[in-house]
Amino acid sequence: MSILVENISKKFGSFQALDRVNLEIKNGSLVGLLGPSGSGKSTLLRVLAGLELPDSGRIWLEGQDATQMKLQDREIGFVFQNYALFPHLTVFENIAFGLEVKNLDSLLKKQRVQELLKLMQLEKFGNCYPNQLSGGQRQRVALARALAVEPKVLLLDEPFAALDAKIRKQLRSWLRELHHQISVTTVFVTHDYAEAMELAQEIVILEKGQILQIGTAQELSDHPTNSFVEEFLELNK
C-alpha cells in the first residue's frame, strides 16, 4: 500500500514534535526513518498507525484519506521497541492472537500460524513460551504476530534496539530477506546509522520534527544537503 504524508504537524503541549512533514512512500518499499532521539520518529510512526491524531495535515493510504481512520481499519501491522509478547501464551498462541480479529475457522487459523512459523524460521518453537526464547527469536515472534493479519503496511519502531550487536546484524539481513519475499510496504525507525544504511531502500532523516533529507544511502552519504545531515552521518559512521 502506498503512503502519502501531507503536511503533518503534531504538538505535545508547546513542544512541536512534528513540523509540516511531507513524505511519499511507494507501495512495497522499505523505508528507514533515521534521526536523533527526540526528533519525532516514533510520533510519525504512531500517526501513521492511527495511534496518534495529527493536529493538522493528512495521511493518505493507497489514495484514500486515512487521517481519521481507526487503527484497526488501516491494515497496518506494527512492532514497537518495547513490544510485549504474552508471557502466559505459547509462541503459537501469541501469533494466533493476531488472528483473533479475523473470523477464521480454527483449521485455517492453524494453517496460517504454521505458515508464519515457517516464514520466521520458528517451526520448532511453536510450543515454547516467550521466556524460553532468545531476544532475537522473541522479536521474530512479535513480527510474526504483526504479519498474522496480512497487513498492507508494516511499521517497526526500533525493532532491534534492545538486542546485542551480533543478533541485530543477523535480524537485519533476515528482515531484508523477509521483505524480499513478501514485499509489504515497510517503514522502520532507527537511530542506528548502519542499520538504516544497510537495510533501507530509502532513508528519511528527521530532526526536530522536520524532514531534512530523503534519499538512498548512497545519495545521503555522497550529497548531504545540509550540515546537520553531514555531521549526523559523520558522527554515526
**Residue 14 or 103: which CB sits closer to ligand ADP?**
14
Choose from Mg ion, ligand ADP, none: what does 12 bind? Cβ within 5-8 Å by kind. Answer: ligand ADP
Q: How far is CA 137 from CA 94, 119, 120, 144, in A?
A: 13, 13, 9, 10
Closest to ligand ADP by CB, 52 vs 230, is: 52
Cell of residue 142, nine digits: 512479535
Establish if 186 lies at the interface with Mg ion (CB under 5 A): no
Closest CB 41 distance from Mg ion, rounded Å? 5
The distance of closest approach from Cβ of residue 6 to Mg ion in the complex, given in angstroms and rounded to an integer, is 22
Q: Measured from the CB atom, is 37 or 181 closer to ligand ADP? A: 37
Identity of residue 207: E
- Least distance to Mg ion from the beta carbon of 42, Å? 3
**What is the DSSP pairing of strand 30-34 with strand 15-25?**
unpaired
Binding test (CB under 5 A) with Mg ion, winner from 42, 137, 185, 186:
42
Contacts of residue 74, defined as CB under 8 A and 6 or more positions apart, other chains included, come to 49, 50, 61, 66, 153
Grid coordinates of 232: 549526523
Residue 232 · residue 226 · CB < 8 Å: no
Residue 2 CB neighbours (<10 A): 16
* Residue 185 binding: pick among Mg ion, ligand ADP, none (C-beta 5-8 Å cut-off by kind): none
Q: Are strands 15-25 and 202-207 parallel, antiparallel or unpaired?
A: unpaired
Task: Give residues 141-160 in contact with Mg ion (rule: CB under 5 A).
Answer: none
Compare residues 148 and 205 and give the one whose CB is closer to Mg ion.
Answer: 205
Interface with ligand ADP (CB under 6 A): 12, 15, 17, 35, 37-43
What angle is formed at CA 4 by the lines to CA 205 and CA 8, rounded to 5 degrees?
65
Residue 86 binds which one of Mg ion, ligand ADP, none, with CB within 5 to 8 A depending on kind?
none
Partner that binds at residue 10, options ligand ADP, Mg ion, none, CB closer than 5 to 8 Å by kind: none
Given the C-alpha cell 508471557, which residue does it identify? 87
